[in-house]
Structure 1
Amino acid sequence: MECRLSAACLCNMGRVRGNNEDNFYFDGRTMPLDHTSLDKPLLQDVSTSPFAAFGVFDGMGGEENGEVASFVAAETFKDKCRWLREYVAPPQQFLAEASAAMNDAVAAEARKVPGRVGTTGVMLCFSEDEVYCGNVGDSRAYRFHRSALFQLSTDHNDAKFLRDHGVVGRKPRLTQYIGLDPEEMMIEPSYAKEKLQQGDRYLLCSDGLTDMLDNLTLCSILKNSATVQQGVEALMDAALERGGRDNITIILVEVEEVRA
């Protein structure tokens, strides 16, 4: 079984931040360390045989540490993906091993500087007629199926605690992220698996998008975008129009064809 995918990617610094701590992995491509924004979308048509992979990373830390963390994670994931063609274990195991490798690499960088340094990570691995999602942190993955949006990733933050205790005015804090010292806490990525269906779309994004746009707006834009390029451009424009208070990274993948 093989599926044909059409994918698009955009990354923007936003309207408020002075630097861009986001990065991505887009079927072999990442953003250089000294980046700000993509001038135009990256586009790619790929096959799920043997695999295709995508990821979004949202760094955190003082000065340039967040940029370094997301860059190291993206480059480490890129290195792991180079061996994916020869990988015989299930994709979820690959995502687990890739997450551990990214955590070790970012944690090594974090030891060089004071304070908390790390990055979120949300990854999709397409293989044959299935897609596997893995995430650490609160960058999100969604499936857009029959005009409805379903979140595949799990938010690793204290949002539920804030709601349960009536705390308002504070952004949820991460409960885990890539870059934790393994001697203090082991990361526990969350996973999801879906069967690919023609016409479905998969959205990866940093919280610079989801903090600006609610699910109804995301659905409306995805429903009214004829192509993945139009989709990422419309999502980015809407997030910037709403204020663009954070860095914004968007990857949109559509299942164009399912072949037996």
Structure 2
Amino acid sequence: MYQIEYAYTCHMGRVRANNEDNLWCCGESLPADNQGMEGVHSQIVSGLKTPAMAVFDGMGGESCGEMAAFLASDEFGRYYRANRRTLRDIPELFIDGVCESMNQAVCRYAAENHIQSMGTTLAMTLFTPESMFVCNLGDSRIYFSDEKSFRQVSTDHILGKSGLGKAPLTQYLGVPEEQQKLEPAVLEIEHKEGNRYLMCSDGVTDMLSDGEIADILSRKNSLRETVELLLDRALQKGGRDNATIILCEVQKQELKGKFKAWLKSIKEKNEG
């Protein structure tokens, strides 16, 4: 039995006049027109509820970025509520389905409103009873950390490196199916108490190096304090873009009295 503690925030940064980021965090998300969040929110959820969390970083002018991120977040929530059992039983099928559904939602809006350039990146974590899955499209990242290690577990979908600004993305939500096939990067990781997963938009990773992020995650701080420190550091170093952060940790869940007694009775019955 395990539980997931998580902390999250979304900030406009110090330069941008609007917020093109969004998130979906165990049912919590932001409206299309938002100015980020006040402070850091945190919760604990049982692993039995198949928790899911995602970061979206919208792209496109004329308010298209925030609409793309909002539409993807909204569709993620709709699909999750309708297919939670699929996530629990066949997570790979859920991942393919939710990515296709989100992509269609963004593409449909773009077509109906005659928008040529509109999209959003995706970084999500999905928890099942046996393990968890990380999945991403674009350059929003997912990091893994425990007491001994720190590493990026997402894939940067970018076209080489550019010395003249941001390199173009090779994968994101909002590409018509006839133009390009979605190929999300997916990784399964076995549950282990103390594992932490950080999802963040490039408003964080463009400001902080992997070494700086690893140093902050290695400290014995609470999840809320860690998210606050990551955001503060990104803002101190310029805050040139919107910044969204979700940090979660796998924890052992102590069974409550009646449920524990019920499990014990079942075990004794089976052994008998």
Give the secondary structure class of the aligned counterpart of 1:82.
helix
* Matched residue SS, 1:49: helix
* One-letter amino acid matched to 2:121: T
Question: Which moves more between the two structures, 84-93 or 207-216?
Answer: 84-93
1:175 aligns with 2:176: no
Matched with 2:135 is 134
Per-residue CA deviations over 1:162-202 (Å, capped at 9, x if unaligned) read 3xxxx523321101210101121121111001012111110
Native 8 Å contact 1:142 1:153 kept in 2? yes
Tell me how far 1:113 sits from its aligned partner. 3.4
Structure exhibiting the larger radius of gyration computed from Cα positions? 2
* Corresponding residue number in structure 2 for 1:203: 198
Give 3-state SS (helix, strand or coil) of 2:28's partner: coil
Contact 1:56/1:204, CA 8 A, preserved across alignment = yes
Structure whose residues are more often helix by fraction: 2
Match of 2:252 among 230, 250, 257: 257
- 1:147-172, Cα deviation, whole Å (9 max, x unpaired): 422111111111xx33xxxx523321
Please say if 1:192 is aligned against 2:187. yes
Distance 1:170 1:245 in 2: 13
User: How many Å separate the matches in 1 of 2:6 and 2:220?
Assistant: 13
**Which residue is 1:93 aligned to?**
93
For 2:121 and 2:148, locate their aligned partners in 1 and report how far apart those are by CA, in whole Å. Answer: 28
Matched-pair contact (CA < 8 Å) for 1:21–1:58: yes
The alpha carbon displacement at 1:89 in A equals 4.1
Deviation per residue, 1:34-70 (Å, 9 max, x gap): 2112112121101111411000000001111100000
Indicate yes or no: 2:241 matched with 1:242: no
From the superposition, tell whether residues 232 and 225 of structure 1 become closer, same or farther in structure 2 (CA, over 3 Å).
farther
- Offset of 1:129 from its aligned partner? 3.6
Letter of the structure 2 residue corresponding to residue 239 of structure 1: A
Distance change (3 Å), C-alpha of 1:225 and 1:246: farther
Shift of 1:242: 0.5
Superposed CA RMSD = 1.6
- For 1:201 and 1:211, locate their aligned partners in 2 and report how far apart those are by CA, in whole Å: 21
| Matched residue SS, 2:233 | helix
Partner residue, 1:102: 102
SS of 1:232's equivalent in the other structure is helix
Give the C-alpha shift of residue 116 in structure 1: 1.0
* Distance in 1, Cα, partners of 2:89 & 2:231: 36
SS of equivalent to 1:256? strand
Who is 1:115 aligned against? 116
Query: 2: CA distance between counterparts of 1:226 and 1:93?
Result: 36
Q: CA deviation at 1:77?
A: 0.4
Distance 1:69 1:113 in 2: 14
Misfit runs of 4+, over 6 Å: none
Secondary structure of 1:131's partner? strand
TM-score, normalised via structure 2 length: 0.89
1:7, 1:44 within 8 Å by CA — same for their partners in 2?
yes
8 Å CA contact retained: 2:137, 2:185: yes
Change (3 A) 1:147 1:12: farther
For residues 123 and 186 of structure 2, what CA distance do their matches in structure 1 show?
10
Taking every aligned residue pair, what percent have the same amino acid on both sides? 39
**Per-residue deviation, 1:32:** 1.0
Q: Unaligned regions of 5+ residues in structure 1, if any? A: none
Whole-angstrom CA distance in 1 between matches of 2:49 and 2:26: 13
- Give the paired residue count: 253
Structure 1's 91 and 215: CA in aligned 2 closer, same or farther, altered over 3 A?
same
The answer on whether the counterparts of 1:62 and 1:115 sit within 8 Å (CA) in structure 2 is no
CA shift digits 1:223-250 (9 cap, x unpaired):
1252110111000000000000000000
Q: For each residue in 1:75-94, what CA deviation from the matched residue of structure 2 results, as whole angstroms up to 9, or x when unmatched?
A: 10001111243326421221
Contact 2:20 2:65 in 1 (8 A): yes
Larger mean Cα displacement after TM superposition, 137-146 or 233-242: 137-146
Bigger shift: 178-187 or 22-31?
A: 178-187
